[in-house]
Amino acid sequence: MSSSSESADVVICGGAAIGSSVAYHLAADPGFKGKVVVVEKDPTYRLAASALSAASIRQQYSSAVNIRISLFGIDFLRNLGTHLAVDGETPVIDLHEGGYLYLGGDEGAPILSANQALQAAEGADIALYAADMLRSKFGWLNTSDLVCGTYGVSGEGWFDGWALLQAFRRKARSLGVEYRQGEVAGYSVEGGRVTGVELTDGSRIACGAVVNASGTHGARLAATAGVVIPVKSMKRYVFSFTCKGEVDNCPLLIDTTGVWCRPEGKRGGEGQLFIGSSSPANEADQEWIESDPGVEDVDWSFFEETVWPALAHRIPAFEQIRPGRAWAGPYDMNGLDHNAIIGPAVGVPNLYLANGFSGHGLQQSPAVGRGLAEHILHGSYRTLDLADLGHERIVEGRPLKEANII
């Protein structure tokens, strides 16, 4: 028997961008009059992916559902005051639509071309440029081994992820959502439904529905309800550096090697500041970890041996840079297909999953929060169908492969 007990209509496990977006969208729905409790282990969010993310948004995906999610996301960010203002104060997230630039050589060009056709058909403002056009638009770019690139003319860029997280949280609280510091130990299940959430301090919150938005800890938590999801924690680094050479109007660039970079702030006395990194080139090289890494747990040899050489080849001005600070953070990686697992769990219909975002969580938080709120309230998606990302495909071993992973 728990030492204390209370109840809520919806309990959300995890209060970062995804969890707080679900909470906001629930509380903002005029038809919802219930109680929402968000349980967050660390209200400083110091190790949360939302706080450590490179905080960017793109429509350059290879699956239609991801493109649609991001089209909603950029519209939401552009109109943040309409959604998240509190007492007439609009959050400032410094949205900069600098675009993404994916580069392709002989092998990657057909994939980029096919993806761009799908993206344009879905209404995304993505252009396909041949190498000579890339050379004309981005004079600092080495195009000697490129065939083409796809560029987000509008609707893609980066923003202050911490500010977006706090804006969701502040708005949700203003609408009556209760935030509770605590760690969820597991779920109580009776008759195929979650009846409550057990916390490590011995307290219990009875609930009508529960949302698992626990990031890299989501698989462990789902397992307490008998639900298996292939989500593991994987370490990622972000490195900063300054460059005195001219690299004007640089988008978020993804090299053929998978190495990426983007500007961060304005040019100062030491030059333009950039951030960049890379995913492991091979699945076998992924560093799976049991717990979230410390922010300072950085392997600088990865920058020296992998990231910097690729960037210096692609942007010759980067041959001479000054390294700055760096940090490590977690990806909640879905090992089946690198796409999020969203919606009711198979066999436990009032357990809603929001896991395995594989680096896309912050940019997908507006649409995912809205979609899950709709499903909780109405039993189905009302505006954007997220069923392609449902738990059914995990159970059936039916991957929805995403080609554009960073």
* 328 and 350 co-located in one domain: no
Q: Which of 332, 361, 384 is the last residue of a domain?
A: 332
Is residue 124 over pLDDT 90? yes
Please give the average per-residue pLDDT across 49-55, as a whole number. Answer: 86
Cα atoms in the Cβ-side hemisphere of radius 13 Å centred on 363: 25
- pLDDT bin (cut points 50, 70, 90) of residue 291 is low
Phi and psi torsions of 25, nearest 5°:
-65, -35
Residues 144 and 46 in one domain: no
Number of structural domains the chain divides into? 2
CATH number at residue 294: 3.30.9.10
Residue 401 falls inside a structural domain: no
User: The whole model's pTM is what?
Assistant: 0.95
Determine, yes or no, domain membership for 26.
Answer: yes
Task: Specify whether 175 is located in the same domain as 71.
Answer: yes
Residue 406 lies in a domain: no
Q: Yes or no: say if 14 and 40 are a contact pair by the CB < 8 Å rule.
A: yes
Query: Residue 95: inside a domain, yes or no?
Result: no
> For residue 153, what pLDDT is reported?
98
pLDDT value, residue 282? 58
Residues 134 and 237 in one domain: yes
Alpha carbons 59 and 71: distance in angstroms, whole number: 7
Among 26, 6, 4, CA closest to 369: 26
Banded pLDDT at 16 (limits 50, 70, 90): very high
Q: Domain of 214: which CATH number? A: 3.50.50.60
